[in-house]
Every structure is written in structure tokens, then in C-alpha cells.
Amino acid sequence: MLFSQNGKEPNLAETKRGGCGKIYAAIRRTSFPFMPVVLKIDARRKVVYSAFYGRIDDAEVAGHRSAIASDPDFSPDFNEIIDFTAVTDASLSESTLAGMASSPSLFHESVLHIVVAPADLLFQLASKYKGLARFSRPNVMVVRSRDEAYQLLADGVKKQ
């Protein structure tokens, strides 16, 4: 069972819709309650979808890379959506953002990386990451809603 910051099971209906792909939960215990990250790789649609919930920090965001890389369904030519919609508290440093941006991407250069960040703080952090990653990940986009993300994904896939 997954737990959000308030100890209740998070609503995963959005990530389970369609029944495609697999859902994995990586749960790491910190001094705060459990913080889940849900990874869904949809091979049919060629999308890596990561949804963060509750409180997030540098270690959880930076460490999620290994979960993606080790998933047998991962392919570097899949597009990526990182969803921060259900994040209630974020503690991310600029040094972590810079380190992630300067590290080699797991994905091919042509891949779309779409960050969903409805909250102002996360939107600002994601926009800062976009600027830092402009050379290593030229196709990072930051949006406020899942609808915008899926529209960009549909538009981007049509162009490729």
C-alpha cells in the first residue's frame, strides 16, 4: 500500500486509467511520513510517467532516475511526463537541480520532457531546471496541468 503525507492511500486512478503499462511504487522512509513516487511506463504510447506525491526533497527527486533506468520496460526514445500535481511540500535545492541538469540524460535528445507543476513554487523550480538543462535536455516544457501536458505530447508526437 502507498501512503501520502497524511497517511491515506493516494488516488492513483489517473495513472491507472487505460490499464496500459505497469505501476511501480518506490517508497522511501524519511523523518516525515512515507512519500511515494509512482512510475508508469506505457510502452504502447511510448511514455514514461512519474507522479510525485506528498513531501519531496532532493534525494527523492534525484534518486528517481535509477528507478527509471532499471525498469525493463524503459526505452530512451520514450517521451517523459513528470507530474508534481499531488506534491504538498517541496524542498529542492538549486545545486540538486543544477546537478540533475548537467548529468547525461537517460533519454534521447529528441524526447519531450514535460513537467506538470500547478503550484507556483514548483513551477518556478521546474522553469529554473528547464533553463539549466537547455543543453542536456533541449525539449523540457513546464505546464500547469495534465491536460496541457497531454496536449503537448500529442502535438509533439505528430511532429516527429
Write down the domain spans for the chain: 13-159
Q: Is the pLDDT of residue 74 over 50?
A: yes
pLDDT band at 16 (very low <50, low <70, confident <90, very high): very low
Report the pLDDT value the prediction gives residue 156, as an integer from 0 to 100.
77
Q: What is the pLDDT of residues 35-63, one digit of tens each?
A: 469 999 999 999 999 999 999 999 999 98
CATH code, residues 13-159? 3.30.750.24
pTM given for the model: 0.77
Looking at residue 159, what is its pLDDT? 53
Query: Which CB contacts under 8 angstroms, 24+ apart, belong to 136-139?
Result: 136/101, 136/102, 136/103, 136/104, 136/105, 137/101, 137/105, 137/107, 137/109, 137/113, 138/109, 139/109, 139/110, 139/111, 139/112, 139/113
